[in-house]
Chain A
Amino acid sequence: MMEMVNVSWIVTLLAIFALFFVPSNYKAYTAAFAVVINSLITSWLAFPALSGQIVELSIFAGTFMGDIAIRIDGLSAWFILVINFTSLTGVFYGIGYLKVYNNPAPKLTLHWSLYILFHLSMVWVCMLQNGFAFLLAWELMSLTSMMLVIFDHNNAQTLKAGINYLVQMHISVVFLTIGFIWVYSSTGSFSFEAIRSFFQSNNNTWLFLVFFVGFGLKAGFIPLHSWLPHAHPAAPSHISGVMSGVIVKLGIYGIFRIITFLNSDFILLGEIILSLSVLTGIYGILNASVHRDFKRMLAYCTIENIGIIGMGIGIGMIGIGNGSAIMYFLGFGGALLHVLNHSLFKSLLFYSAGSVFQQCHTRNMEHLGGLIKSMPKTAAIFLVGAVAIGGLPPFNGFVSEFIIYIGLIEGIHSNNLSQILLFVLSLAGLSVIGGLSVLTFTKTFGVLFLGQPRTKLEHKPHEVSKLMLVPQYIIIAIMLSVAFIPQFYLKIIGTALMQMNPLPADMTGIIEYANTIQGISMYSFLLIAVVTVVWLIRSLVMKQRIQRIDATWGCGYTAPTSRIQYTGKSFSKPLGKILNFLLIENKHFEELKPGEIFPEKRSYVSHYHDFIERNLIDPVLSRLNYSVNYFSFIQNGRIQSYVLYGIVFILAIFILTVFNFVS
């Protein structure tokens, strides 16, 4: 086993070394080769865990860190496989995506080396069982992904987004470090088992919340989400797909991992997570519905889906607290399945959105339209992703949302008034999320792909290359397999959940729900069958009918242009108007002056702002900036003073040690 882990290291180093020498055209293939090898190895390591065998290894990492435990249980294995799959589709899509751009060789070398490291670090995050080593892998993951985000580093906006991401990820690291040091100071160990013993003898709530903030920053729970809408649009599309598909899921992994060590306070923490998640979901999708940058829209939609996953986690934790095995399995099971589902359809949507961006060179959907004519395959792929992410049958999103729904309804049957209230409101919240995502994705799909082109593009868009399409077809195939044989995936999740520590005793009623969920796939088949039958009848009838092509009904107006089509902005305007206290719109325009008979050409600009970023984060930061400014003399740009700081620091340590202030 251990040899395999070493092989993956060696392959990674060799590939990075080789990347310096191979010609530009082959760099991407070299990287893909390394990612494939690493994925195969780590998947092979993870496979036994799927059937319930826990893989335990340890590596010796020098005298300072000692032996580091590596442990792959069902939970790790699930996330490792999700990471591997999305990273693989990402690298192959990326080959095609970057091919059309003329990038200098060093830039490509750096990009693909980082990609290999990025993939490996994510896998390591799921395997390491030592706080210190975990933080190293976590840090490597954050740094490599940040460098991947700023691929287009000549653009000031991109750099700004990258730095924003970097800073926020380090706030996350600070919280995680505090958490691990807290455990270390009370148990004297950095290993994950120490967290378990900490929870057994101490208050659970506060340490969990510290970890939750740390991991929640990665996952994007509100109000910790504000890096997502900046970083995702800035990154190249194959990176946004992988980031949104898996990197935010590692925040979820961390939360799950800490839950396995928890000992008490399940109900309180579960209620906190559930309510926060409902708000996260609604907030995310509300913002998604108004933005016209379609990649930013997808980023907000990621926040929504993190909310849905979080709802599952909340249900599961309340289930543990209530001793209800049904809620435990439905909540956590729904959350884990939604992790897979979201990684599938979100990467699919980012890839197809990337295809649009590659062909049209704009992320503003108001400039596009009618792309279904020039890019029919991409349009069909996006449509599949849009229906699936709305949680609509017959696709995979419905299966996991359905599980979370019945988890909520199961919660309604509990005996505690406050829980009943929370569950009913969450039920309403989830239904609002569903309705809003229909609005968001009908808008995006409709504006991007349907109707007529809204502006004349410099280059006529064409369908993208096979290299970009095939990974997307594979994702769709996996999505369909989740939709139609969910029992296969649920069995794996069930095994993983059995291994998780705090297992409620009562197991009755699970079988009935298992049958129900299996039934869902049958009904989805039935739906497709009904559609097919109606379609066949229609085709038969239509053969004998006269079909004519004519202009769209213009209400008597005979000279319509493509500019009078309904825009995405106007599509979501009624919603924005009703919720204008949350969806803050900034408009710049000049009113018509009283005496102006022949109006001149004028402009109208409108932007939506993130409510939390604007009202919670920015004011705090600007206050902070104000006071921190007084210390700017420290960072004066002179190397001499920086050397002096080092000497002062060393002296201080020396003196304090000599006089025994620190031991």
Chain B
Amino acid sequence: MLSVILIVLAAIFFTGIIIRTKSLASGRKGPGILQPIWDVIRLFRKGVVYSETTSFVFQIAPTIYFATVIMAMLVVPFGQSRGVLSFNGDFIFFAYVLALGKFFSIIAAMDTGSSFEGMGASREALYSMFAEPAFFILMGSLALLSGHTSFHEIFAALHIGSQISYALAALATFVLLMIAMIESSRMPIDDPKTHLELTMIHEVMILDNSGFDLGLIFTAGYLKFAIYGALIVNLFIGVIPFQYAIPSFFAIQFLMAVSIGLIESFMARFRMSHNPQFIVALTSVSLLIFFGVLLILQKFM
């Protein structure tokens, strides 16, 4: 339960911090930290425009997308406190329930009959497919390391002792951060600021969404970021008591948001054709973690 509250709190500020960082980096003052939340509230109050090509799929998809993110959030633990749902193999449920949301957002994009949205849908499906093995090898390695099979037990049992496990935690942070970037369609995979439909991924899929539905999609996006942030935090806070763990949760989330902002300010988006290579390289980083775990457990005998 604690994790849900923390994730929601983090989600409120997260995107605001990114935008603020980007503004400061480019020498502007920028909007307030809570501006994304005000935007969503305004969207909830607005009317909607539906494309004449669309069917019920288009209307129900944002709801399902939002609900799957909520379900994924319920699975995430916080240090010693379990997630609302915690069971053996819950990280499989986590990945698959998010995939369900993606399934519906993809077909909703196809529902509009727009060539741009189909393009975005195709890219989204491809990139998230390439990101799957990285996540699963990472979780499989952590399961091997800790001897457990659920998020909570894995994270609670992660002891960061030797130098090699620091290296592993750093690599795992990198993998999770990059998966978060792919899932939320940020740099260097996708540029949310771009104004050219041909180069967008996520933004182009939701071109025809408006009003309440768009608000749901935005909210789900904010939550998704905070969820992955929470997973990263969990790599480090295993046995730390709450009075230190909670501040470090916010500190790490803040750091993550700032670094995303800085990355987006000083880096260009990859060429579309390079994205798959980059994402597949992520899997090899995961494999590195796996071999590191084998080293720690001294399985090479």
Chain A residues in the interface with B (C-beta under 8 A): 369-370, 372-373, 376, 379, 383, 387, 390-393, 398, 401-402, 405-406, 408-410, 412-413, 417, 420, 423-424, 427-432, 434-436, 438-439, 441-443, 445-447, 450-452, 512-513, 516, 519-520, 523, 526-527, 530-531, 534-535, 538, 541-542, 545-555, 562, 564-566, 570-575, 578
Question: Does B55 lie within 8 Å of A550, measured CB to CB?
Answer: no
Which of chain A's residues has its CB closest to B97's CB?
A393
Question: Does A531 lie within 8 Å of B149, measured CB to CB?
Answer: no
Question: Does B88 lie within 8 Å of A431, measured CB to CB?
Answer: no
- 9 A-B pairs with least C-beta separation: A566-B118, A446-B110, A435-B129, A546-B47, A451-B113, A428-B133, A439-B125, A431-B136, A431-B132
CA distance A423 to B300 in the complex (A): 16
Q: A372-B57, A392-B96, A432-B132 are in contact. Are A549 and B125 (CB under 8 A)?
A: no
Chain B CB count within 10 A is highest, among A431, A516, A565, for A431
CB distance from A230 to the nearest CB of B (A): 27
Taking CB atoms, residues of chain B closer than 8 Å to A427 are: 136-137, 140
What would be 12 A-B contacts, judged by CB atoms less than 8 Å apart? A383-B107, A391-B96, A417-B294, A434-B132, A435-B129, A446-B107, A452-B53, A527-B67, A547-B48, A551-B52, A554-B114, A570-B119
CA distance A410 to B143 in the complex (A): 9
Question: Does A409 lie within 8 Å of B133, measured CB to CB?
Answer: no
Taking CB atoms, residues of chain A closer than 8 Å to B63 are: 531, 534-535, 538
Question: Does A428 lie within 8 Å of B71, measured CB to CB?
Answer: no
Chain B CB count within 10 A is highest, among A420, A451, A548, for A451
Question: Does A413 lie within 8 Å of B126, measured CB to CB?
Answer: no
Interface of chain B: mostly helix, strand, loop or mixed: helix
Question: Does A565 lie within 8 Å of B114, measured CB to CB?
Answer: yes
Chain B residues in the interface with A (C-beta under 8 A): 44, 46-55, 57, 60, 63-64, 66-68, 70-71, 74, 85, 87-89, 92-93, 95-97, 99-100, 102-103, 106-107, 110-119, 121-123, 125-126, 128-133, 135-137, 140-141, 143-144, 147, 149, 197, 207-208, 211-213, 216, 276, 283, 290, 294, 299-301
Q: A402-B92, A450-B107 are in contact. Are A565 and B99 (CB under 8 A)?
A: no
Question: Does A451 lie within 8 Å of B112, measured CB to CB?
Answer: yes
Question: Does B147 lie within 8 Å of A578, measured CB to CB?
Answer: no
CB distance from A533 to the nearest CB of B (A): 8
Question: Does A442 lie within 8 Å of B93, measured CB to CB?
Answer: no
Instruction: For the A-B complex with A401-B96, A432-B132, A571-B121 known, give 20 more contacts whose Cβ atoms are closer than 8 Å.
Output: A369-B113, A370-B53, A393-B93, A393-B96, A408-B140, A410-B149, A424-B137, A438-B103, A442-B125, A451-B110, A519-B87, A520-B93, A527-B97, A542-B48, A545-B46, A545-B212, A546-B47, A549-B51, A564-B115, A566-B110
CB distance from A450 to the nearest CB of B (A): 4
CA distance A550 to B212 in the complex (A): 17
CA distance A390 to B100 in the complex (A): 9
Q: A424-B290, A431-B95, A531-B63 are in contact. Are A442 and B107 (CB under 8 A)?
A: yes
Question: Does B130 lie within 8 Å of A516, measured CB to CB?
Answer: no
Question: Does B114 lie within 8 Å of A390, measured CB to CB?
Answer: no
Taking CB atoms, residues of chain B closer than 8 Å to A431 are: 95, 132-133, 135-136
Q: A442-B110, A451-B111 are in contact. Are A409 and B51 (CB under 8 A)?
A: no
